[in-house]
Structure 1
């Protein structure tokens, strides 16, 4: 059985926020909302959970710091020790103040690059992926809310959407 969604188009972000709140009060499931710009508080109004990307960013930074320490210890102490500017070359701890910029840079490098890869994988943004935007006007000046419906609650949801200030309503099958 194919699922059906109602696509409600709004002309203002404040009207959209009020509509989201009224739809969530009635316990209907909002599939997705498409907006031309970020709407402050929309994630909270939709009831979306907090992201865990900050935790992964921290872990990626720890990986970068570990790689930096292991790399510098192997290259500068074990593999090819050199006397540069009179610094001792036999102990990592004695040389660590000179290595701090490298540790910082690799920490940031790993965190930034792995976060971009994680974001694209999590968002399912693959190279050459076709856009999933159901209405091109949502990239300009319209807001679209998709609500999943069935035969039983279609009429109720449609009435609720009209009362919330939608300018257009369409029924689509997924």
Structure 2
């Protein structure tokens, strides 16, 4: 299945932000925006929902903390209790102050590593994946806004995008 989209190229991030706002006000659907660097506020201007990655990070930290507590209880209390520095190893609660650094480190370790994996999976960044960048100039100094043409007059949409400050507007047949 293929659909037609319009690629509008901009040379300035402030101009892009204004164009995104004008395009949304005109009720056109923005498929994607490609930028050479993160543009502050672009996600809000595009109307994207807030990310839920912070929730997953918290859950991964809880998993790490649980693994740390379970591991230390089994290793240091149940399996092979040792008298280290005169500290009794008969209960987890008595030894918990000594275990705090391990709990902290495993919480951070699990949150960080599982977040990287989650980010790559969510972004569909697999090893050896081909780049999906539609124009190589967006990796250097241009900004590209991809607008869906479904149900709209292509000439009118192209003229609208040119009036928003686009330096180049082109119709592209996008294959899904």
Deviations 1:37-90, CA, capped at 9 Å, x for gaps: 111111110000100000100000000000000000000000011110011111
Q: Which residue of 2 aligns with 1:105?
A: 105
RMSD, matched Cα: 1.0
CA distance in 2, matches of 1:3, 1:151: 11
CA distance in 2, matches of 1:79, 1:93: 16
Q: CA deviation at 1:153?
A: 2.5
Q: CA deviation at 1:114?
A: 0.4
CA distance in 2, matches of 1:7, 1:152: 15
Q: Which residue of 2 aligns with 1:38?
A: 38
CA distance in 1, matches of 2:157, 2:168: 13
Q: Which residue of 2 aligns with 1:90?
A: 90
Q: Which residue of 1 aligns with 2:23?
A: 23
Aligned pairs, how many?
Answer: 174
Question: What are the equivalent positions in structure 2 for 1:96-135 lying under 5 Å apart?
Answer: 96-135=96-135
CA distance in 2, matches of 1:3, 1:16: 24
In the alignment, structure 1 segments of 5+ residues that lack a partner are: none
In the alignment, structure 2 segments of 5+ residues that lack a partner are: none
Deviations 1:1-22, CA, capped at 9 Å, x for gaps: 5211100000111111111001
CA distance in 1, matches of 2:92, 2:56: 28
Task: Check if 1:166 corresponds to 2:161.
Answer: no
Question: What are the equivalent positions in structure 2 for 1:35-74 lying under 5 Å apart?
Answer: 35-74=35-74
Calculate the TM-score normalised by the size of structure 2: 0.96
